[in-house]
Amino acid sequence: MSDEQGTWLYAVAGDLGRGGLPPLTGVAEEPLRTVEAGGLVAVVGSVPLSSFGDEALRRNLEDLDWLARVARAHDNVVDAVARAGPAVPLRLATVYLDDERVEQVLRKRAADFERTLGRVAGRREWGVKALLEREPERQPAATSGGPSRPGAGAAYLKRKREQHQTRQRHEQLAAEEAGHIYAVLAERAVDARRHRPQSQQLSGAQSPMILNAAYLVDSAAEREFTRAVAVLDSEHESVRLQLTGPWPPYSFSELEDNDE
């Protein structure tokens, strides 16, 4: 059973253009190939189910080093396909039992794929994250040693309460600014999505993330969009913006595929 193969699906396109398949290997260092049906081309690779079957994936996806390596290989293939022309990127770990199942999906979902391909043609995804800029907390004045003065405990609690209220106001202001930023940038994009903010452990940032947005932007409008991000970053003191991309349009290829 260890040599049983499944079919890993990377992306779906109308065609691959003159360049054909990108000169890359896939997540299992396998050669890429295509499966065609319904007027569509799927870029796939054969992967061992001992490492990429359901049970193995549940185990391996907990291994962050393994996940990073596989995600990087998957994204490299998707990015190369998307650079050649409109493509629908499939989510990581989309694995089918064989090519015949891929053909069935292409035929069954042909209209959905075609609609999405038309939607993302000439457009790319950009990410904008807003990180909360902490206000420096005021430190209490140093006190001389000796017994606590009467009322010192109450004064301490009052000071902590005021600090908490100040922090809450700052966070509320930052949240309002993040909402404003999201809306302003959405007006400069074809479409926009708000994702769940990443934890600090996942993002690697020292500051909490309060906005995690994706924007589908016309290629001709990318310079204007990135300039708008820079202007907004300079105008808002409570948040710091991070711009990422351009990426294949993962956030705007909303094909719920339950046929694996």
Confidence label for 149 from pLDDT (cuts 50, 70 and 90): low
Q: Do 212 and 222 meet the contact criterion of CB atoms below 8 Å apart?
A: no
124-142+149-251 maps to which CATH number? 3.30.70
Q: Do 113 and 41 meet the contact criterion of CB atoms below 8 Å apart?
A: no
pLDDT above 90 as % of the chain: 65
Q: Is 191 exposed, middle or buried (0-12, 13-18, 19+ CB in 10 A)?
A: middle
pLDDT per position as a tens digit, 28-60: 999 999 999 999 999 999 999 999 999 999 999
pLDDT at 258: 47
- Chain-centroid distance, C-alpha 228: 20
Average pLDDT over residues 116-124: 95
Confidence label for 1 from pLDDT (cuts 50, 70 and 90): very low
pLDDT per position as a tens digit, 69-119: 999 999 999 999 999 899 999 999 999 999 999 999 999 999 999 999 999
Greater confidence (25 vs 18) lies with 25
Tokens of 98: 């064989």
Most distant CA pair in the chain, distance: 84
Token pair 């302003």 is found at 184
Token pair 């932007």 is found at 217
Token pair 């054969």 is found at 46
List the one residue out of 206, 138, 207 whose CA is nearest residue 171.
Answer: 207
pLDDT per position as a tens digit, 197-240: 887 666 777 688 999 999 999 999 999 999 999 999 998 878 89
Tokens of 123: 């457009």
Greater confidence (18 vs 251) lies with 251
Angle, CA 195 vertex, CA 189 and CA 197 arms, to 5°: 125
Angle, CA 134 vertex, CA 131 and CA 138 arms, to 5°: 180
Domain ranges of the chain: 5-121, 124-142+149-251
> Alpha-carbon distance 200 to 13, whole Å?
35
